[in-house]
Structure 1
Amino acid sequence: MAKILIVLFPDPVGGYPPNYARTGLPEITAYPNGDTLPTPKALGFTPGTLLGCVSGNLGLKDWLEAEGHTVVVTSDKNGPDSVFERELPDADIVISQPFWPAYLTADLIEKAKKLKLVVTAGIGSDHTDLNAANAKGITVAEVTYSNSIGVAEHTVMQVLVLVRDFVAQHRLSVAGAWNIADAVTRSYDLEGMRVGVFAAGRIGRAVMERLAPFDVKLSYTDRFRLPGEYEEKLGLEYKESIHELVKDIDVLCVHAPLTDETRGLLNDELLGTMKRGAYIVNPARGAIADRDAIVRALDSGQLAGYAGDVWEPQPAPADHPWRSMVHNAMTPHTSGATLSGQARYAAGTREILESWFEGTEIRPEYVITQGGRYSGTGAHSYADEPENDGKNS
């Protein structure tokens, strides 16, 4: 039997919801690229309910305990006195979400002598030191594509919020004001703007497909160039590097994984090469941006706006400058945590656990590291010499 340590975000301040705004979820039978949705043998939860918090427990606790496993579910994850760090040394499996990540550093992995499997309920496993996981032969898996479309939708929303200057206009409305001149002095149409997409994986492609009908001029950069027929269909212009991409665009959408290459990439130097008054939407990882460089660019007017829902660290401290910087449209890390997305990544997490306990193969698209090396999606997104499987996340 295994000990499973599950780190989830806290319950709502007012308590676990007794009811919801909507009943049930629309039926989705496949992902846009044809991949099937998670197919666990059972769910253990009602789709459309709050699953990513402690009381929701991803619908896993009753099932796992009925199978004889020991389950610890907590939101207390930071510091040596946290439940997470106290329970980690004898845990066999750790599960957490990118929105409330259990940071598995190399030091903590060294202390976790029994750890064999790390599961990200969602997409993005950079809160685990993947090199250390490989060194220990730990399998790292995530529920690829489970919330990709949700993140893409959130990205498009934030692009429009910035360009139209929605936040300022909404605040005027709430305050009882009606000064239209004040409301529109920073408001523009998205139509005709140049939008650049950094990394054209599942999310980046979904963003481009959703922005194309706005009659924008789309360009992108990625480690792998997309097929010519796809570029032609969306009118895409390929750029060899992020440095080439940002030179003449009005909006930058960031969808790259956090790696040594991308950490701190959006710095003073790169921002200084962008068109004055450009916008950035970053739903990828907060650490891809230099925190203070973003603030300086907004203060100087080099950037007209910055939005995203990823921070460094997470949760962000109350005094994080992105909370109060000018012309921001930040959200907590919620883009992939809709009730719709939670149903998919909870189901995918259970599918991964079922495969693990049965000794059968975990879907390759879910695998990040396995057997001491990057594998599956990890071989494409995180390896120094990535494999081109055409399905990067």
Structure 2
Amino acid sequence: MAKVLCVLYPDPVTGYPPKYARDDIPVIKGYPNGQTVPSPEGELGFKPGDLVGCVSGELGLRKYLESHGHELVVTSDKEGVDSTFERHLPDADIVISQPFWPAYLTPERIAKAKKLKLALTAGIGSDHVDLKAAAARGVTVAEVTFSNSISVAEHVVMMTLSLVRNYLPSHQFAVNGGWNIADCVTRSYDLEGMHFGTIAAGRIGLAVLRRLKPFDVHLHYYDPHRLSPQIEAELNLTYHETPQSLVKVCDVINLQTPLYPSTEHMFDDRMFELVKRGAYLINTARGKLCDRDAVVRAVESGRLAGYAGDVWYPQPAPVDHPWRRMPYEGMTPHISGTSLSAQHRYAAGTLEILQCFLDRKPIRPEYLIVDGGNLAGTGAGSYKLD
């Protein structure tokens, strides 16, 4: 029997289950790169479109796990030595967490988790796990690669338009009963003709570029691994050898790079000195890619015309986090990858990975981050251990 410790975000304050706006969601059979969607054995423990990413939703896992003799503990209480997470960690065989409500598996916590064999991300992004410590302990690290990449790409497009068109303040004028047309349009522009650049053009970054091409913008990108000539020609992309080159010319800058020690605080005061005045910065990757206070200074000084972020550090962000109250912001509480559509895929992928692991079957290479003490699968091309 395995003990599965699952950390999910809290239920809606209005109660669970919610009243859903739609009766169903579209059926997606594959991803743009040809990868198929998750395919667990048997029935899902939920209806597609249900809210399963919260505590009461349990990712739909309870029926499967308990019917096979395993124990499931689900909690949102993850901070402090007396938290539910800390109390159950020492005898947990499997820890499931989310990027949206991460249970940080530090070297100290991994050392404490003597029985831990699998650290599984319900979604994409495994930087809340210390991969070096996991590899040294022989812990397998896996995530549901591509499950919510398009969800995040759509969020980037929404944030871009919201900032450039000054949508959020204009909406607030309407809510407040006003008709302040002049006030609304003093910061409203067309995206058409602007220069849009993405730093990292992997699954999400490339999906963003494809979705923005019809807007007749000039597309730029930086990535350590240059895209094929065919893709560059298809999207009329301008390649930059450094992020610094890109930020000098782009009106909108999109961050999609993984978080490494080398990319932490990539956007600091020095980088902002290079940014074109009046540019917009979008960050749905990781909060620590940006120096928190440098972002505030850049917005308040006018170096940035706006900052829209879906990621923070730490998460959840404290109430007094300055990004909540700085001007010209479009912040969201890390929701981009946990739409109800995305939850269907990453919950199904979580079940698929669990079934493979518990039945001692191979996990898809695209889901693997660390295996056998080394980076593996997707992890080998996306992460570093030092």
Q: Aligned equivalents of 1:310 and 1:327: distance in 2? A: 16
Q: Aligned equivalents of 2:309 and 2:149: distance in 1? A: 15
Given residue 105 of structure 2, which amino acid in structure 1 is its aligned partner? Answer: L
Q: Aligned equivalents of 1:32 and 1:163: distance in 2? A: 28
**Equivalence for 2:182:** 181
Q: Aligned equivalents of 1:58 and 1:71: distance in 2? A: 11
Aligned positions of 1:21-100 closer than 5 A = 21-42=21-42, 43-100=44-101
Give the drift of 1:212. Answer: 0.7
**Equivalence for 1:390:** none
**Equivalence for 1:113:** 114
Q: Aligned equivalents of 1:69 and 1:329: distance in 2? A: 42
Aligned positions of 1:1-393 closer than 5 A = 1-42=1-42, 43-383=44-384
Given residue 29 of structure 1, which amino acid in structure 2 is its aligned partner? Answer: K
Give the drift of 1:384. Answer: 6.5
Q: Aligned equivalents of 1:288 and 1:179: distance in 2? A: 36
Q: Aligned equivalents of 2:88 and 2:368: distance in 1? A: 25
8 Å Cα contact 1:155-1:308 kept in structure 2: no
Q: Secondary structure at the match of 1:29?
A: coil
Given residue 53 of structure 2, which amino acid in structure 1 is its aligned partner? Answer: G
Identical pairs, percent: 62
Given residue 5 of structure 2, which amino acid in structure 1 is its aligned partner? Answer: L
Give the drift of 1:19. Answer: 3.1
Give the drift of 1:383. Answer: 2.6
Q: Which runs of 5+ in 2 are unaligned?
A: none
* Per-residue deviation, residues 334-369 of structure 1 (Å, max 9, x unmatched): 000000000000000000000001111100000000
Q: Aligned equivalents of 1:274 and 1:151: distance in 2? A: 24
Q: Aligned equivalents of 1:98 and 1:384: distance in 2? A: 19
Give the drift of 1:28. Answer: 1.1
Given residue 17 of structure 1, which amino acid in structure 2 is its aligned partner? Answer: P
Q: Aligned equivalents of 2:253 and 2:56: distance in 1? A: 37
Q: Aligned equivalents of 1:28 and 1:89: distance in 2? A: 38
Given residue 35 of structure 2, which amino acid in structure 1 is its aligned partner? Answer: D
Given residue 281 of structure 1, which amino acid in structure 2 is its aligned partner? Answer: I
Q: Secondary structure at the match of 1:378?
A: helix
* Per-residue deviation, residues 248-272 of structure 1 (Å, max 9, x unmatched): 1100001111111111111000011
Aligned alpha-carbon RMSD (Å):
0.9
Given residue 254 of structure 1, which amino acid in structure 2 is its aligned partner? Answer: L
Q: Secondary structure at the match of 1:330?
A: coil
Query: Normalization by structure 2: what TM-score?
Result: 0.99
Q: Secondary structure at the match of 2:96?
A: strand
Query: Normalization by structure 1: what TM-score?
Result: 0.97
8 Å Cα contact 2:97-2:122 kept in structure 1: yes
